Amino acid sequence: MPGHKTMNTTTSSAASVFEAPGPGSWTVDAAHFPRPVSRFQAEIHPQGITKGFLDCARRYGLLIDTLDYRFINGFAYVTVVPAPEAEIPARFRAAEDVFRKKIWREDLERWDRDVKPASIRTHKELLAVDPLALSDDELIAYIEQCRDNLERMIHQHHSFNLAAILPVGDFMAHVGAWTDAPIGEFLALTRGSAPESAGTFPEMDRLAEEIRNSPDARQILESGKASADILAQLRDAPGPLGEAARDYLGVVGDRLLNSLDTGEPSAIEVPDALVARIRMAVEQSAAQAEAVAEADVSRLREKIPAEHRADFDELLDEVRLVSRLRDERGFYSDVWAGGVMRRALLSAGARLAADGLIEEAAHLIEASYDEIQALLGRQGGPSGAELAARASYRKGHRVDTAPAELGDPASPPPPMDGLPPQVRRVMTALGTAIQSLGANVQSNRDSAVIRGIGASPGTYSGIARVIDGPDDLGRLERGDVLVTAATTDSFNIVLPLLGAIVTNAGGLLSHAAIVGREYGIPSVVGTRIATAQIADGTRVTVDGTTGEVRIDSP
């Protein structure tokens, strides 16, 4: 109903009102934001998504203008904004070039040549600054630099959305028209195309090799000391070992870990997960993500009608080409920039906590930017108790406590029969991709079998580790079945530890689905109830082909 409101009891003194932020139908984004985000992130994130999507919508000839994101009580809600009528002729013309020129290739080339290297340089330049050595005024200026960078990086991430997802949406739409076989099996043919999605990259390989060649390093790694101490010893080691450790931690340490929110920990704050990942890399060869065997390709190719197999080959090639962009556009944009931002805010928060103005350093991220400036300038701002209440609210709430929809009832998409063929193809590819980012399957809560979407084929039995947030990632052990609400791009650092993935939210193109396929582990997504139904430590069997998770024992 228009103006739909609901009330949720929070840990603060006031109840939270959920009201549509504007006209239309608004849907909660459970796949990317499974928990409330910080006040700082909610203020900066929406415009980057909206502007970035608009950039690529025009370039790719979409009949929608952008995705409008708003945060209501910390939860993300999205609505689709149609393209202005005056722009439709230009959108039609742009759509004619999309598949003929394969314009995502131009975007990928620009990413590799210009955008990614520039982003790495900027992040490293900001990390070269020691916030602890800055005066209060210098720290305020530094925080502004980091915030400007994060704002640019959110925009940058989403300006590459269509290059990353349109080819795969097109592939899925065609394969779905050609065969009734599970689409997840065909998407698994991209495995090996995105090594960073499988948690491996040159800095990791180099550190693992240095440790293998050094008995002293192996002794450090297996010393039984606290993980933070192990990382410090490796980082401070002389020669190539210390250099490799510093390079690795320089790349991953200040990336956000399983979150797009600056309010959540970066990897260096969860040292147990990093050390477990290093240990596993030392035990294995550098090449972790193996390409799909040609026999598997041939087997699935046989399910495609003969007259379409050449087209199938071409479409698969394009998906493999851009596959790595799905996660890289986050890794090197806002996932890294968010970690850089968090580092600066934690340093500032430590000063304020030392002066008794806030209770904990991390609580500063619960403030808006204006409030942060006021606090650092000693010119007022929220009390420590107010910021603590905001932190408590975020810690105590999850997306299943928020309404799934706000505003007007969702309308079916308009028919595309009268559109020009290339416009129809672009919109079909986009619709298929977006629909596959998040989907839910209704399961029987009383059943020992939980049903979702089979996103990465295979079967695996292991111990379920129910992870509520980044702070829990240190509990993961090799071979565990990750059970969580959703995963994000930054989670790839610890992915290789897992035997299987099960999530509440997500669809065939959700992050959990993609990384599961890339690393070749069974994944079931969109279960809605997995974290509620599966107890931590339970033994489960995950079937990533059928989409079923069986609870084997308590």
Q: Which three-class secondary structure string do you get for 370-419?
A: HHHHHHHCCCCCCCHHHHHHHHHHHHHCCHHHCCCEEECCCCCCCCCCCC
The HSE-up count of residue 359 (CA atoms within 13 Å, CB side) is 13
Which residue's structure tokens are 């986009």?
A: 430
Regarding whether 514 and 396 lie in a shared domain, the answer is no
* Number of domains into which the chain is organized: 3
Q: What is the pLDDT of residue 394?
A: 94
**CATH code for position 544:** 3.50.30.10
Q: Does 145 lie in the same domain as 236?
A: no
pLDDT at residue 288, rounded to an integer: 46
User: How many Å is the maximal CA-CA distance in the chain?
Assistant: 73
Handedness of CA 397, 79, 177, 313 (dihedral sign): negative
pLDDT of residue 493: 67
Examine residue 17 and state whether it is found in any structural domain, yes or no.
Answer: no
Residue 291 is given by DSSP the state P
Q: Give the pLDDT means over successive 10-residue stretches in the chain (554 positions).
A: 37 66 92 90 94 95 94 95 95 96 97 97 97 95 98 97 95 95 88 75 91 93 93 95 95 86 91 87 62 82 96 96 91 95 97 96 96 94 97 91 92 84 94 75 68 91 87 80 80 74 86 81 90 92 94 79
Assess contact for 49 and 69: CB atoms under 8 A.
yes
User: What pLDDT was estimated at residue 7?
Assistant: 35
Within a domain: 86: yes
- Phi then psi for residue 179, to 5 deg, are -150, 155
Note whether 467 and 541 are same-domain residues: yes
Whether the CB-CB separation of 47 and 67 falls below 8 Å is answered with no
Q: Which residues have CB under 8 Å from 490's CB, separation 6+?
A: 255, 256, 257, 258, 259, 260, 267, 330, 331, 335
Encode pLDDT of 246-282 as tens digits.
999 998 999 998 678 999 999 899 898 889 889 888 8
Residues 268 and 384 in one domain: no
Query: Given this model, what pLDDT does residue 490 score?
Result: 58
Q: What is the pLDDT of residue 444?
A: 55
Does 188 reside within a domain?
Answer: no
pLDDT score for 440: 53
**What was the pLDDT predicted at 215?**
92
One domain, residues 158 and 45: yes
Residue 222 placed within a domain: yes
52 and 122, same domain (yes or no): yes
Q: Are residues 35 and 160 in the same domain?
A: yes
Instruction: Say if residue 472 is in the same domain as residue 536.
Output: yes
344 and 278 part of one domain: no
464 plus 386 within the same structural domain = no
Residue 69 lies in a domain: yes
pLDDT value at position 56?
Answer: 94
The pair of three-digit structure tokens given for residue 332, joined into one six-digit string: 């090197």
Q: Would you say residue 426 lies in a domain? A: no
At residue 497, the pLDDT reads: 75
What residue numbers bound the domain in which 528 lies? 449-551
Separation between Cα atoms, residue 539 and residue 524, nearest integer Å:
16
On whether residue 520 sits in a domain, the answer given is: yes
Last residue of a domain, one of 341, 372, 406: 406
Radius of gyration of the chain (CA): 23
Q: Are 98 and 223 in the same domain?
A: no
Determine, yes or no, domain membership for 8.
no
- Co-location of 466 and 545 in the same domain: yes
